[in-house]
């Protein structure tokens, strides 16, 4: 079960990153291009947030029930990363995506929708990338 969930969690990140790039670029283009909020936008934004929530759910199941790396040994950088840093960054990333979606959903103005999606979805993807870049032994900065 651990290997299945770990592979699902690892593979899903590529869909999350792809959806993030598409929705952020689409929002920026919509914002600066003065475009209207289309049916595609109404599907894309919640799809991105839904993927983020699914990724978080799988990650939480791994964290609390299956991961051998979550030991709260703060002296070991690898275990500290998996026990504290990774989960904190990803929860903040999901929260940013959800806040952006919630705010943009309430507005009737397409430019406001695109603005909040650009800002908050952009923040969420930056947090995800920081989390991936600082992964000990695998990340760019780790």
For the question of whether the overall pTM of this predicted structure is more than 0.85, the answer is yes
114-117: which pairs have CB atoms within 8 A and are 24 or more residues apart? 114/27, 114/28, 114/30, 114/31, 114/35, 114/37, 115/27, 115/31, 117/23, 117/24, 117/27, 117/45
> pLDDT tens-digit profile of 5-38?
999 999 999 999 999 999 999 999 999 999 999 9
Phi-psi region of 123 (alpha: psi -120 to 50; beta: other; left: phi over 0): alpha
Q: Is the pLDDT of residue 140 over 90?
A: no
* Residue pair 100/116 in contact by the 8 Å Cβ criterion: yes
pLDDT of 106 higher than 80: yes
Mean pLDDT of all residues in 52-72: 91
DSSP state of 7: H
Q: Which of 119, 22, 134, 47 is nearest to 87 (CA)?
A: 134
């Amino acid at each position: 079960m651990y290997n299945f969930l770990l592979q699902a969690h690892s593979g899903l990140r590529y869909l999350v990153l792809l959806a993030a790039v598409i929705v952020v670029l689409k929002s920026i283009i919509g914002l600066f291009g003065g475009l209207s909020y289309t049916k595609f936008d109404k599907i894309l934004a919640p799809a991105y947030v839904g993927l983020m929530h699914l990724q978080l759910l799988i990650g939480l199941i791994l964290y609390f029930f299956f991961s051998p790396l979550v030991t709260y040994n703060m002296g070991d950088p690898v275990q500290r990363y998996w026990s504290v840093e990774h989960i904190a960054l990803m929860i903040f990333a999901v929260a940013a995506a959800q806040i952006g979606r919630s705010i943009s959903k309430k507005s009737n103005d397409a430019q406001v929708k695109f603005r909040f999606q650009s800002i908050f979805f952009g923040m969420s993807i930056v947090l995800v990338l920081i989390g991936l870049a600082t992964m000990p032994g695998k990340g760019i900065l780790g």
